[in-house]
Amino acid sequence: MNFPATRMRRLRRTEAMRSLVRETHLHPGALIYPLFICPGEGIRKEISSMPGVFNLSIDEALKEAAASASLGLGGLLLFGLPAEKDEQGTGAWAEDGIVQQALRAIKQDRKLDSLVTIADVCLCEYTSHGHCGIVARDGEEFTIENDSSVALLAKTAASLAAAGADIVAPSDMMDGRVEAIREALDARGKQDTPVMSYASKFSSAFYGPFREAADSAPQFGDRKSYQMDGANLREAMREIDQDIAEGADMLLMKPAMPYLDVLREARNRYDLPLGAYQVSGEYSMLQAAFQRGWLEPERAMMESLLGIRRAGADFIVTYFAKEAAKVLN
Ligand code: PBG
């Protein structure tokens, strides 16, 4: 069938027609809002590189949670800024750790039951050196130890689940951590807590603003010996295979926009629920363009999310969650 019998524009003529034939939809219930929890009270400190994103004390975080619930968001992803950091990151698995406290507070309020609470599992926010695992030093050289880090991550995940996390989400990229976390959860009676694995997490410049938000920049070296090389799609599939074999219940891909092909490939290959994380740098560069008047905020925001959804994400972790839900509601 060729022109003039076929005219593609027939189905674009009115908004009603376009709406009828739309292939991809966003909805608030598939958006997850990250929160950065800090000690104190009444604290609401804006991240300079992330307009509209804050370090929040627990009382302020509860207000954000209430707003998220009334907007119909799917859930919250919690990160913590501990009062003190050390070499091992003990604050990550402390029973009264900052995220553990926040989880208990959220779980006490029945009005927040519609939100799934997801706890990021990593050590970088809690270690004095800012790496995601244990550092072994040898003169000027250093390595990030895998197996000793995994044991601490497993402890952290169990502690977060016991405090009320509905899902634990390891973002550290150590080998074998999903299996160790599954075992630690089961041993703590948390056999019903799912593991959402950041299965393919690339070493990315787009995490820059997050490291200000979470105060987690590595003090020396970089994360390239544990996070993935951005050039490797096939390796990303092997990471996912591995995590599924170890018992991952859900997958999270990250970053999103520079890796939409990896997301699509994962969607084609795997049947697990699949999410994508529109990371801090993706948010910040759009915000920078909005501030300069270079892009239309609402349209650019929604287009960026729609692209992630079209590439295959069932759900999206995004700092735009509340703003996008306002547009969708
Ligand atoms: C912790 C973690 C990071 C992000 C999520 N979990 C930072 C990193 O790996 O350096 C980044 C999220 C974002 O940029 O929004 N390991």
Task: Point out the catalytic residue in the list 45, 63, 254, 326.
Answer: 254
| Residues pairing with 137 in the sheet | 142
| Residues pairing with 35 in the sheet | 78
Rounded to whole angstroms, how far apart are CA atoms 261 and 92? Answer: 33
Spell out where 28-150 has E strands.
31-37, 44-47, 50-56, 75-80, 116-121, 134-138, 141-145
Q: Is 111 a catalytic residue?
A: no
Ligand 1 neighbourhood includes 210 CB (under 6 angstroms): yes
Out of 121, 200, 201, 207, mutate this one to test ligand 1's pocket (max ligand atoms within 8 Å of CB): namely 207
For 136, list phi and psi in degrees, rounded to 5. Answer: -110, 120
Rounded to whole angstroms, how far apart are CA atoms 235 and 179? Answer: 19
Model confidence, pTM: 0.97
The pLDDT tens digits for 263-299 are 999 999 999 999 999 999 999 999 999 999 999 999 9
CATH of domain 25-328: 3.20.20.70
Out of 174, 210, 308, mutate this one to test ligand 1's pocket (max ligand atoms within 8 Å of CB): namely 210
Task: Give the pLDDT score at 139.
Answer: 86
Rounded to whole angstroms, how far apart are CA atoms 198 and 312? Answer: 16
Ligand 1 atom at minimal distance to the Cα of residue 120: 6
pLDDT along the chain (329 residues), means of 10: 94 98 98 98 97 98 98 98 96 98 98 98 96 92 95 98 98 97 98 96 97 91 94 98 98 98 98 98 98 98 98 98 98
Ligand 1 atom at minimal distance to the Cα of residue 208: 14
Ligand 1 neighbourhood includes 171 CB (under 6 angstroms): yes
Ligand 1 atom at minimal distance to the Cα of residue 79: 6
Ligand 1 atom at minimal distance to the Cα of residue 280: 15
Report CA(207)–ligand 1 centroid distance (Å).
6
Ligand 1 neighbourhood includes 173 CB (under 6 angstroms): no
Task: Point out the catalytic residue in the list 190, 201, 322, 326.
Answer: 201
Q: Is 254 a catalytic residue?
A: yes
C-alpha distances out from residue 145 to 132, 133, 135, 217, 224, Å: 10, 7, 6, 18, 13
Cβ neighbour number for residue 292 with a 10 Å cutoff:
8
